[in-house]
Amino acid sequence: MIEPQRTPATSVLKVSAHSNPNSVAGALAGVLRERASAELQAVGAGATNQAVKAIAIARSYLSASSIDLVCVPEFTDVEIEGNVRTAIRLLVERRLIPAAVPVSPPAIP
């Protein structure tokens, strides 16, 4: 169960430490081709890390569509099995890619 949200509801993707960042990125990119924003929700360091990696990967997926992403992190409380846990909520929003600042490609080995 999720506490009352502070910003308008969007599509929520729950990310765990075991989530595949590429899969989350694909889902995120799919949502953001259709909508202006999406939300990732993560509990714990491992989950937050996968969520951030997914956003970085989704940026490269969307760059061909001239879409870049920004994210706005905030704390939120979620109830898991009767216990209240602090989660990280990452609101992800689209923005147009400025002409002079191309999205970087995935890291080059």
* Chain residues that interact with a second copy, rule: CB under 8 A: 6-7, 17, 44-46, 48-49, 52-53, 55-56, 59, 68-77, 86, 88, 90, 93, 101-104, 106-109
Whether residue 35 contacts residue 10, with contact meaning beta carbons closer than 8 Å, is answered with yes
CB atoms within 10 A of CB 31: 19
Smallest separation (angstroms) from a second copy to the CB of 97: 11
Question: What dihedral angle (degrees, nearest 10) is formed by the CA atoms of 18, 6, 37, 76?
Answer: -10
- Nearest distance in Å: CB 70, a second copy: 4
Closest distance to a second copy from the beta carbon of 34 (Å) = 21
